[in-house]
């Protein structure tokens, strides 16, 4: 079963690689601004890490916390920016602002209220990480285990 799941994840990643980000506009939960995920995160040769998460997802929060511990260094060294896209529904999205403030995450935090971006990228579960460079999806990873941020860092160095 585990081999089948790994094969499925690899095939899914291959199918989405080099796909363009969808031109969907999402609202920031922290500053109220609207961002088009394709066009507003498109600086040439910059790596954009889109981390899909939810307030009820413990592995998601652990991943964002772990990346935060290294974020200042990584963002300079790798010319990268993390965009945290919440997939919280109407019942739980009220928790986003308070959680982000408590965690003091420096990320741009957007709400995919209708899950348009999530669906366009065929993201089934969170945490779901998508790396984009020059508007193209170049890497996808699903899930998080302790230490996964180290693997992400290594991958980002390769993709830089």
pLDDT tens-digit map of 135-156: 999 999 999 999 999 999 999 9
Report pLDDT for 75: 96
- Average pLDDT, whole number, for the chain? 90
**CATH ID of 2-159, from 3.40.640.10, 3.50.50.60, 3.40.30.10, 3.40.50.1370:** 3.40.30.10
**Per-domain residue ranges of the chain:** 2-159
Query: What's the whole-number mean pLDDT along residues 69-80?
Result: 96
**Which is nearest to 81 in space by CA: 143, 130, 141, 114?**
130
- Per residue, the 3-state secondary structure of 60-126, as one string, reads HHHHHHHHHCCHHHHHHHHCEEEEEEECCCCCCHHHHHHHHHHHCCCCEEEECCCCHHHHHCCCCCC
pTM, two decimals, is 0.87
Confidence class for position 18, pLDDT limits 50, 70, 90: low
Q: What pLDDT digit, counting tens, does each position of 77-133 carry?
A: 999 999 999 999 999 999 999 999 999 999 999 999 999 999 999 998 999 999 999
Confidence of residue 10 (pLDDT cuts 50, 70, 90): very low
Q: Report the C-alpha gap between 88 and 43 in whole angstroms.
A: 28
């Amino acid at each position: 079963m585990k081999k089948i799941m790994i094969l499925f994840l690899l095939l899914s990643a291959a199918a989405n690689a080099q796909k363009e980000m969808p031109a969907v506009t999402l609202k920031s939960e922290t500053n109220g601004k609207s961002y088009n995920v394709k066009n507003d995160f498109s600086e040439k040769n910059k790596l954009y890490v889109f981390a899909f998460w939810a307030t009820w997802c413990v592995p998601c929060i652990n991943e964002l916390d772990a990346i935060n511990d290294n974020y200042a260094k990584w963002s300079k060294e790798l010319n990268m920016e993390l965009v945290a896209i919440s997939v919280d529904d109407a019942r739980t999205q009220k928790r986003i602002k308070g959680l982000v403030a408590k965690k003091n995450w420096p990320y741009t935090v957007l709400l995919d209220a209708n899950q348009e971006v999530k669906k366009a990228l065929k993201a089934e579960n969170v945490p779901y990480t998508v790396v984009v460079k020059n508007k193209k999806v170049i890497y996808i990873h699903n899930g998080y285990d302790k230490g996964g941020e180290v693997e992400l860092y290594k991958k980002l160095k390769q993709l830089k």
